[in-house]
């Protein structure tokens, strides 16, 4: 059995794949000091030069929770846009990514107060909440051209707790 | 005392002000049927024609929770962009909006599984979570030009529970 151990999600470890969106580091105080604004944390990229009608949009995803150990054999990527997953809960979720199809995938576990933004073209697993509700706001490319590539591993991977 | 009673947040009632972002109505099934995609729910508008450098971004806001009754005398609006508030919790939050400076403000209470997208130029109160953590992902305009107008009521309003 091919296995993957989960890692905590940190900006440094996740840098090859995308941005970690969380309330840490520098911020501006707004609203008379009542609110921290952690400004402009995601590298949004909707490839307007590739598909002229491409634009950003916000969709709501509601996914069935999975459990660890979690077995998968499919990864996917979106050549025409970055994709941000913003949990509408305080539950940690699983983030599977891969540098390329030949590399061993990595599995990050969020801390319950983190979203992610996958950079355009990053290989990743499907959305995998670990508790209900599996509710996320998603900022990704809206457009008419094809924007999904899939890769199936010859043998499945199992993510361990 | 000038008072406002809260109303439940519904798409119909909120339509003059913005979009309600929630997992209801039509969706596409993706990920082998494991995920509902409620597609493209927000009217994003970053006024590229007004400020040529304007673009969307994702910021993380961390606001101090307030309590009801809640007293305020300030509303604000952003002439150069829509602004989406996506709670990273399952807590209801308060959404204060106004049709214009002369109109009585309205106060909506979310149901714990709703985000909002304020249309460009909509008068609104500052971010008012009602429980900790007051953590939100915010999709709004990133740019160099001024993007804040404020209006102060001569007498404060009090939002009742």
Residues B120 and B81 sit within 8 Å (Cβ to Cβ): yes
The tens digit of pLDDT for each residue in B78-119 reads 999 999 999 999 999 999 999 999 999 999 999 999 999 999
The tens digit of pLDDT for each residue in B44-70 reads 998 776 777 889 999 999 999 999 999
The tens digit of pLDDT for each residue in A37-69 reads 999 999 999 877 677 788 999 999 999 999 999
Domain ranges of chain B: 2-160
Query: Where do we find the tokens 């008068």?
Result: B123
CA distance B148 to A61: 31
What is the pTM (predicted TM-score) of this model?
A: 0.97
With a cut of 90, say whether residue B28 has pLDDT above it. yes
Res B161: pLDDT: 85
SS (H, E, C) chain A: CEEEEEEECCHHHHCCCEEEECCCCCCEEECCCCEEEECCCCCCCCCCCCCCCCEEEEEEEEECCCCCCEEEEEEEECCCCCEEEEECCCCCEEEEEECCCCCCCEEEECCCCCEEEECCCCEECCCEECCCCEEEEEEEEECCCCCCEEEEEEEEEEEEC
Res B85: pLDDT: 98
Tens-of-pLDDT digits for all 161 residues of chain A?
Answer: 999 999 999 999 999 999 999 999 899 999 999 999 999 999 999 877 677 788 999 999 999 999 999 999 999 999 999 999 999 999 999 999 999 999 999 999 999 999 999 999 999 999 999 999 999 999 999 999 889 999 999 999 999 98
Residues 6+ apart with CB under 8 A from B103: none
Where does B2-160 sit in CATH, by number?
2.60.120.480
Res B29: pLDDT: 97
Residue closest to B41 by CA, chosen among A62, A138, A86: A138
The alpha-carbon gap from A93 to the nearest alpha carbon of chain B, in Å, equals 13
Residues A98 and A124 sit within 8 Å (Cβ to Cβ): yes
Residues B49 and B79 sit within 8 Å (Cβ to Cβ): no
| Partner residue opposite B39 with nearest CB, options A23, A59, A134 | A59
Interface of A with B (CB under 8 A): 21-23, 27, 30-32, 34-42, 44, 55-64, 84, 86-90, 113, 115, 117, 126-127, 133-135, 137-139, 142
| Partner residue opposite B41 with nearest CB, options A31, A60, A133 | A60
| Partner residue opposite B142 with nearest CB, options A22, A40, A142 | A40
User: And the tokens for A95?
Assistant: 């983030």
């Amino acid at each position: 059995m091919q296995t993957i151990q989960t890692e905590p999600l940190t900006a440094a470890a996740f840098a090859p794949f995308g941005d970690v969106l969380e309330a840490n580091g520098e911020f501006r105080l707004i609203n008379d000091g009542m609110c921290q604004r952690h400004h402009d944390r995601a590298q949004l990229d909707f490839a307007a030069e590739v598909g002229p009608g491409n634009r950003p949009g916000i969709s709501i995803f509601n996914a069935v929770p999975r459990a660890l150990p979690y077995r998968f054999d499919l990864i996917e990527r979106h050549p025409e846009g970055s994709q941000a997953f913003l949990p509408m809960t305080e539950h940690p979720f699983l983030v599977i990514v891969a540098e390329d199809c030949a590399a061993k995938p990595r599995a990050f576990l969020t801390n319950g107060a983190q979203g992610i933004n996958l950079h355009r073209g990053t290989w990743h697993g499907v959305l995998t909440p670990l508790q209900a509700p599996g509710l996320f706001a998603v900022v990704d490319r809206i457009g008419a051209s094809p924007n999904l590539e899939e890769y199936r591993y010859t043998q499945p991977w199992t993510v361990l707790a």
